[in-house]
Amino acid sequence: MTRSTRDRPAKPPLSVEAVVDAGLHVLREEGIDAVSMRRVAAELDTGPASLYVYVQNRQDLLNLMFDAVAGEVDLSERPDPKRWREQLERLLTDIRAAMDRYPGIARVPLANVPTGPNSMKTADHLLGLLRAGRVDERSAAWFVDVVFLFVNAAAFERSIYVAEGDAEAQLEEVQETFAQIDPDKFPNMAALMPALTSGDDDQRFAFGIRLMINGLLNSEPPRAGTPGS
Amino acid sequence: MTRSTRDRPAKPPLSVEAVVDAGLHVLREEGIDAVSMRRVAAELDTGPASLYVYVQNRQDLLNLMFDAVAGEVDLSERPDPKRWREQLERLLTDIRAAMDRYPGIARVPLANVPTGPNSMKTADHLLGLLRAGRVDERSAAWFVDVVFLFVNAAAFERSIYVAEGDAEAQLEEVQETFAQIDPDKFPNMAALMPALTSGDDDQRFAFGIRLMINGLLNSEPPRAGTPGS
DNA sequence: ACCTGAACACCGTTCAAGT
DNA sequence: ACCTGAACACCGTTCAAGT
């Protein structure tokens, strides 16, 4: 029996879409850490080397996957100057909800600035809402950055408690630490304990975006674009 | 020559501190991804198995390293009700500066809630400043969460551009994407282009924290602690 | 108690060899 | 053009064997 690099006939060609879909499937079921080139390849019944025809590397695959998730956000409603704030809060909540469906995907937009078409559409839509609200140009531009950092970080933090079996173990450990706080060492935490443990994820997220929008409406537009001006 | 599990005499015992310091050294020089058990062990001239006497696993080591970084933040100044806002902005800027010295460490507090002593001291100090400012209790408690998410995310985002050799390549790619924006597809981005490319990291970070504090001072305290109340 | 070597079960990525 | 097997250079973690 002659040895060859081929034990079975070549399979029909894959596609970027097939690779991304396989990645999303693994992501949804097992979280971002399970999305390895080998695991995704196995999902497609092939070897890891085959994926490199369609994606540059793992990071490239993750970026493509994130943009697919961004594509799940509903942007069909036109900005309405009378309801822009409500629309904005809804949009940000929807973005987080989309990321919540794919545990850990929020690490991707934190690790590099998303430039995929769906991410760009989302940013453009967000800017449109701020313009409908007559927000100053530079404030609007910088606000997009700030609020995306918050939304992504909030989504990522939640995904840890969802992703693995240690969800409750983690939460318990934190609560235990809080319960055992020494009032001499941490007087402010001890005094504010009821407030610190109040509210769930959704309430705190809603508080965060309301706070940021109120801040936007109550801040001077930033000065100084280029240094020295 | 008889084979044994021992080729050289055992070394003097290590310590948690020595392991954490070695980790911080690797982190500072080569970034968070370089901090592997094997790399840190090599720094101590031993094998990876030796580290498990002092740390539970890699995540535990990273948590200890983060708390050491948190310990570099100056908390010596007492909260002053007349200058609390200035002190708060300074504290948040210092926290980020500390993380900027250790590229990628900001991923740690994003991945699990820090419960180390220095992290707790920092949180307690932040709460103290908010109390000096007579901020409502629940607003203060929830604000700590929100603002830490922002500071950590901002620190992590910057660390990518610092960490590796592809810093300029990444930045150029983003700027190229921005320069080629199709006004028909992304009308708002096209219209706000000058604003979108204005400002540097520090200006945007300062804008973010000012915005959040203004938001805090212009928001109703959140209602509803436990669901249904 | 702690250090050590070896092993296990994984990684991402490259490349020559096939079709 | 694209699939494939094998290899390279890494991982985290465990464990029996030493001192």
pLDDT in tens, A157-186: 988 876 555 566 677 778 888 889 999 999
Interhelix angle for B84-100 vs B201-217, to 10°? Answer: 140
Cβ within 8 Å of residue A42, ≥6 positions away: none
* Predicted confidence band of residue A2 (pLDDT cuts 50, 70, 90): very low
Alpha carbon distance B93, B208 (integer Å): 11
Residue A3's pLDDT is what?
39
Residue B3's pLDDT is what?
39
Give distance CA A64 / C1' D6 (Å). Answer: 29
- For A214, which residue in chain B has the nearest alpha carbon? B215
Give distance CA A50 / C1' D8 (Å). Answer: 18
Q: What average pLDDT does this structure show over A195-199?
A: 94
User: Are A196 and B131 contacting, i.e. CB atoms less than 8 angstroms apart?
Assistant: no
Q: How far is A115 from chain B (nearest CA, A)?
A: 7
A194 DSSP assignment: H
From the number of C-beta atoms within 10 Å of its C-beta (0-12, 13-18, 19+), residue B76 rates as: exposed
Residue A162's pLDDT is what?
67
Chain B residues whose CB is inside 8 A of the A211 CB are 143, 146, 212, 215-216, 219
Q: Any chain B CB within 8 A of the CB of A208?
A: yes
Residues within 7 Å (Cβ) of strand D:
A 3, 5-14, 46-50, 53-54; B 4-6, 9-10, 35-39, 48-49, 52, 57-59
Nearest to B177 among A115, A121, A227 (CB): A115
Alpha carbon distance B123, A188 (integer Å): 9
Which nucleotide minimizes the distance between its C1' and the CA of A11? D3
- Picking from A150, A127, A138, A84, the residue whose alpha carbon sits closest to that of residue B110 is A150
- For A116, which residue in chain B has the nearest alpha carbon? B177
Alpha carbon distance A115, A126 (integer Å): 15
CB contact under 8 A, A131 and B216: no
Query: DSSP characters for B147-215?
Result: HHHHHHHHHHHHHHHHHSTTHHHHHHHHHHHHHT--TTT-HHHHHTHHHHH-S-HHHHHHHHHHHHHHH
Who wins on pLDDT, A224 or A211? A211
In the 11-30 stretch of chain B, whose C-beta falls under 7 Å of nucleic acid strand C?
11-14
Interhelix angle for A137-163 vs B137-163, to 10°? Answer: 90
Q: Any chain B CB within 8 A of the CB of A71?
A: no
Write down the mean pLDDT value for chain A. Answer: 90
Chain A residues 86-115 with a CB less than 8 Å from chain B: 110-113, 115
Alpha carbon distance B9, A185 (integer Å): 44
Query: DSSP characters for B96-158?
Result: HHHHHTSTTTTHHHHHS---SHHHHHHHHHHHHHHHHTT--HHHHHHHHHHHHHHHHHHHHHH
Alpha carbon distance B114, B144 (integer Å): 13
Alpha carbon distance B139, A141 (integer Å): 27
In the 35-64 stretch of chain A, whose C-beta falls under 7 Å of nucleic acid strand C?
35-39, 48-49, 52, 57-59
Nearest to A141 among B150, B153, B192 (CB): B192
CA-to-CA separations, A13 to A18, A42, A68, A117, A171, in angstroms, rounded: 10, 15, 21, 25, 45
Nearest to B156 among A110, A186, A222 (CB): A110
Residue B66's pLDDT is what?
98
User: Are B112 and A160 contacting, i.e. CB atoms less than 8 angstroms apart?
Assistant: yes
**Structure tokens that stand for B8 in this block:** 């050289």
**Structure tokens that stand for A168 in this block:** 């409750």
Residue B208's pLDDT is what?
98
Tell me the mean pLDDT per 10 residues along chain B, length 229. 47 86 96 96 95 96 98 98 98 98 97 95 98 98 98 93 63 82 96 94 97 97 62
Hey, how many other C-beta atoms are within 10 angstroms of the C-beta on A178? 17
Alpha carbon distance B57, B139 (integer Å): 36
Q: Any chain B CB within 8 A of the CB of A185?
A: yes
Nearest to A115 among B121, B174, B225 (CB): B174
In the predicted structure, residue A18 carries a pLDDT above the cut 60: yes
Chain A residues whose CB is inside 8 A of the B214 CB are 214-215, 218-219
Q: How far is B47 from chain A (nearest CA, A)?
A: 26
- For B166, which residue in chain A has the nearest alpha carbon? A112
Q: Any chain A CB within 8 A of the CB of B172?
A: no
Residue A227's pLDDT is what?
45
Q: Any chain A CB within 8 A of the CB of B128?
A: yes
Query: DSSP characters for A116-179?
Result: SHHHHHHHHHHHHHHHHTT--HHHHHHHHHHHHHHHHHHHHHHHHHHHSTTHHHHHHHHHHHHH
Q: How far is B90 from chain A (nearest CA, A)?
A: 18
> Would you say the C-beta of A175 is within 7 Å of strand C?
no
User: Are B80 and B30 contacting, i.e. CB atoms less than 8 angstroms apart?
Assistant: no
Only one residue has tokens 């629309």, namely A87
CA-to-CA separations, B195 to A139, A141, B198, in angstroms, rounded: 8, 6, 5
Alpha carbon distance A170, B22 (integer Å): 27
Alpha carbon distance B131, B156 (integer Å): 28
Residue A177's pLDDT is what?
87
On the CB side of A100, how many CA atoms lie within 13 Å of its CA? Answer: 13
pLDDT tens, position by position, A53-109 = 999 999 999 999 999 999 999 999 999 999 999 999 999 999 999 999 999 999 999
CB contact under 8 A, A224 and B120: no
In the predicted structure, residue A5 carries a pLDDT above the cut 70: no
Only one residue has tokens 């970034």, namely B31
pLDDT tens, position by position, A51-61 = 999 999 999 99
On the CB side of A95, how many CA atoms lie within 13 Å of its CA? Answer: 32
Q: Any chain B CB within 8 A of the CB of A129?
A: no
User: Are A147 and A212 contacting, i.e. CB atoms less than 8 angstroms apart?
Assistant: yes
